[in-house]
Amino acid sequence: MAADNIRILALSMVEKANSGHPGGAMGGADFVNILYSEFLRYDPQNTAWPWRDRFFLDPGHMSPMLYAVLGMAGYYSLEELENFRRWGSITPGHPERDLAHMVENTSGPLGQGHAMALGAAICSVGEVSAQFSMGAIGKDAVNPGVVIPLELNEVDVSVINDAQARVMRKAEWNRRNSVDFRTSLTGMVTQFNKSWAKDNQNSVSSELSVNYTHVYSKDKYTMTFKFYGIYGVNFIDDAWFKNQDKLELSHLSSWKVREKGLLRNWAYSVETKFWSQFAEGFKSRTEHDPWSNFMAPGTFNVGLGLTYYSPNKKLPFEVTLNPLSGDALFVLDKRLPDDRKMKLGLPDIRRDDGSLVTHKMQGGSSLTVNFKRTFNLSKSVTLQYISDLSSFYGWITQVSRKGEQAELPEIMPTALWTNRFIINPLKFLSLEFRATTRYDKSQVDRVQMQYYLRVGLTYGYKNR
């Protein structure tokens, strides 16, 4: 039905203009319909999306076919199609490059489209289809599906082979790699409950954050790398004051257990994670006692176990179970007072010189659950829900004290659960609400909670 509509539109355009070539356009209706509806990837809201697939039309006289399929996709109005071949219209008899309407190339002389497609492929501009047609729809091919071979004496076959090899490598890289980058500059309102507010104050601040996720997959192996950084300040009493900063790196490597059967969604996994504050912080605006710094605190986690990947696209989550897991806490800035170090989780164990130990190591088991899904509320508004749960239970806890190992008197489980709701009402505008629940008995023997609301500018990039 869609192909028939393309034929009707193409023939009507030529009849209305009393000029043009209807044969090739009608003959190519079937293949161009399948191409645009089932194979090409493009964003109707962003015609300049750099990772779109590109279609280069070689015989320019087949422009009615191109205009018709793009008109059905919403890029041309019926009035613009009726103005085919008229002076000053955006639907000339031979197409001219117009990215706003998804026309990738100017085509007139036969062979021009092939040359431009090859050039784009060799330059690896975006993602060009790795399939090169060795035929062209002829101008006399009125019946659907009739293909007339194209003589390649004017195009060096070695150039086609080189371009195809380059594009296939590019397509393979895009198939194996998923990149997601997001940065935001926002204003934020933060509120803590009484347990958490011992070290933090409710505030209004500005912050800069960066998120980067890279997923690499090949056969049974999948590697996920994540980076997260944030720095926030507020301005009170004529002074800038840092109220939060964090640097986090995580890595997960997994190998599928089975390709089929009950274990097809399970994988052996190795997980590592590091986070630290990275900027010097003070207790308050009036008390300039050191309160945080790089590796004060800093934590490092490693786990060995199994990961389950949900096959349900409407319920995209993953669960990692690590029966063997290690956790290390470091507070390496000697200027921090002892009461601050103990609040960060160090035990009240002294070295021979009376100073507090600087790190704590635990062996135990850990669990992490990650969920992320995007909902399209309208054509331009999206809602993203992200939930991350992590917990650790140590069954071997030791600290280093002058070359000796001292056992802690009590094993203290920890848990952290974060929920985020992100709405993008406009392309570069975001609204985020986050709720964080934390339990760490080494700091406070109560549940700690943090809420914040962020509004500001955001920029995101995905390669697919």
pLDDT value for 134: 39
All domains in the chain, ordered by first residue: 2-155 (3.40.50.970), 175-462 (2.40.230)
Q: Give the three-state DSSP class for 391.
A: strand
Q: What is the mean pLDDT of residues 182-205?
A: 77
What number of other Cβ atoms are within 10 A of residue 381's Cβ? 12
> pLDDT at position 316, please?
94
298 confidence band (pLDDT: 50, 70, 90):
very high
pLDDT at 129 over 50: no
The pLDDT-based confidence of 397 (bands split at 50, 70, 90) is low
* Whether the predicted pLDDT of 201 surpasses 50: yes
The pLDDT assigned to 144 comes to 30
pTM of the model: 0.70
Cis peptide leading into 297, omega within 30 of 0? yes
The answer to whether the beta carbons of residues 308 and 317 sit under 8 Å apart is no
Q: What is the mean pLDDT of residues 35-40?
A: 88
* Segment 88-118, tens digit of pLDDT: 899 999 999 998 999 988 887 777 787 787 7
Check whether 271 has a pLDDT greater than 80: yes
Mean pLDDT of 326-332: 89
In angstroms, the CA 336 to CA 292 distance is: 7
pLDDT of residue 301: 92
At residue 386, the pLDDT reads 95
Q: How confident is the model at residue 244 (pLDDT cuts 50, 70, 90)?
A: confident
pLDDT tens-place string over residues 413-441: 889 999 999 999 988 999 999 999 999 87
Averaged pLDDT for residues 209-223: 94
Using CA atoms, how far residue 349 sits from 342, 411, 445, in Å, is 10, 15, 19
**Residue 198, pLDDT score:** 52
- Say what percent of the chain tops pLDDT 90: 42
Residue keyed to tokens 């002389």: 109
pLDDT at 135 over 50: no
Mean pLDDT over the full length of the chain: 82
Report the DSSP pairing between strands 298-309 and 382-401.
unpaired
